Copies of this chain bind each other. A is one copy, B any other.
Amino acid sequence: MSGTRHPPEGRPATFELVLRHIEGRLTSGDLRPGDRLPPERELAARLGAGRQSVREALRVLQAQGVIRSQVGTGTDSGTVVVPAPARALTRLLRVHLAVDSFPMRDVTEARVMLERFSAGLAARRRAAPDLERMSDALAAMDADLDRERFSDLDTAFHVAIAESAGNRLVGELTVAIRESVRATLLGAMLGDEDWARLRDRLRAEHREIHAAIDGGDGARAADLVEAHIRAFHGRVPPT
């Protein structure tokens, strides 16, 4: 950074060097979740870079869901290391969906794979607090809700299953994939079929899944989840 002045001659871009510097501090454990980074101006001065380069590096880390920034002087102000993979993953997948990096069909299959995995593990573990969260979501879904609210609770139910599997990575991936197709799924709920009827069917399927997990029947839970997802994605137009 503090090498030959100004320009990017041969070596990587300055913001990239700043990025690597911070990544290095994260990897070495020098920076941990909850820690504050130096102010942008100070970081720039310390690395012999301009503030713009520092900001671009920070923007990348923000896009990766590693840091959060906010103005002000308080304890929580400035730039803090706050890992939030799901949001970053969601946005990444969504934009790639938009740009046709992969077809909707692949997303469906991936969801089936992830949620079968989660349901199977959740049934083996049967963690009480997670089971309760699922029940809560189901109960809330019994109200007379519009599509949007229903969909959010639907997601909450599936997320509870994913997190109950005890695998954070798979949990985050499940959330991300589900969220990234939220708009598409919502659109599918507007199909020709009667909303009330569709809603009832989804509720019934959810209860079956919940019962299977609660009963410790992982294989059945996985099969039910797969059927549940496929039935719904069948309503989604391809690609």
Contact = CB atoms under 8 A, between A and B. Distances in A.
Interface of A: 15, 23, 26-27, 32-33, 52, 55-56, 59-66, 81, 83, 85, 88-89, 91-92, 95-96, 98-103, 106-107, 109-110, 113-114, 117, 167-170, 172-173
B92 A88 contact: yes
Nearest to A105: B167
Contacts of A52: 52, 55
8 contacts: A26-B99, A63-B63, A64-B96, A92-B92, A101-B169, A102-B168, A106-B167, A113-B170
A95 B169 contact: no
A95 B66 contact: yes
B83 A99 contact: yes
Contact of A170 (B56, B83, B99, B106): B106
